Amino acid sequence: MRIVLVGAAAFWLVVAAQADVEVTEIWPGGIAGAETTSDWFELTNYGAADVAVSGWYYDDNSNDPTSSDPIEGLTSIAAGESVILLASWEDDYAIVADAIASFEASWDVANALDNVQIGWVAGGGGLGGGGDAVHVYDGNTAGANTIATQTYIGPTAPASFVTAPDGTWNNELAQVGLWGAYASALPASDAPGIGPAIGSPGRVPEPASLALLSLGAVAALRRR
């Protein structure tokens, strides 16, 4: 029995060590006025090993890797880490550094973005307020594999679409105080009556902790 348990745990460890990247948050904008930050989305590595980002591409609901655009500014995503990707930043900013600075001015509340990697899509289209999708591929050819994908349905509000801590996607908008979401430092746009944006960019979800606990369980079995 001990051999069976150790074997099963070892099998789980191999599976968990593989990359398991998901889209865990989407800020599509689509609100009145000039918005404070570019459209953005969050990727989270639920696996137990780092994953290289080199050669990844993004597309929206057309879901066509041959028309996708390159993801830049990141080299890898650590196990349990969440990273941010800015999309359509070129609509409002001449250089990506200004787009990143605007994002940070809005979302870095009480050092919330400490150690959060911020990358970007080069030439990528924006996300529609009435509903859209995020698709991430490992290349831009017809045979490219889909690394992560998520769809949301509007109408939108000054809030991002978020996953539950267990990774479940229910097309839910972020709420202050729920699952780590908070209000941005700046209004979501310059339109009259628009309040702060609501989101949780860069949060690390609970499954990362669960993976570490499982690794400990494997070590305990080996000691027995």
Tokens of 6: 């150790």
160 or 8, which is more confident: 160
- For residue 174, the 8-state DSSP code is P
Share of the chain above pLDDT 70, in %: 82
For residue 219, pLDDT over 60 is answered with no
Please tell me whether residue 104 adopts helix, strand or coil conformation: helix
Region of poorest pLDDT, from 95-109, 144-158, 208-222: 208-222
Per-residue model confidence (pLDDT) at position 6: 38
pLDDT tens-digit profile of 167-199? 899 999 999 999 999 999 999 999 999 999 999
Other Cβ atoms closer than 10 A to 52:
12
Name the residue ranges covered by the structural domains of the chain.
20-204
Average pLDDT (148-153) is 96
Domain 20-204, CATH number (from 3.30.200.100, 2.60.40.1260, 3.40.50.620, 2.40.160.40) = 2.60.40.1260
For residue 72, pLDDT over 80 is answered with yes
Tokens of 8: 């099963």
Instruction: Give how far Cα 131 sits from Cα of 30, 76, 139, 144, Å.
Output: 9, 29, 25, 24
For residue 218, pLDDT over 90 is answered with no
For residue 5, pLDDT over 50 is answered with no
Question: For residue 96, which of 106, 110, 85 has the smallest C-alpha distance?
Answer: 85
Per-residue model confidence (pLDDT) at position 43: 97
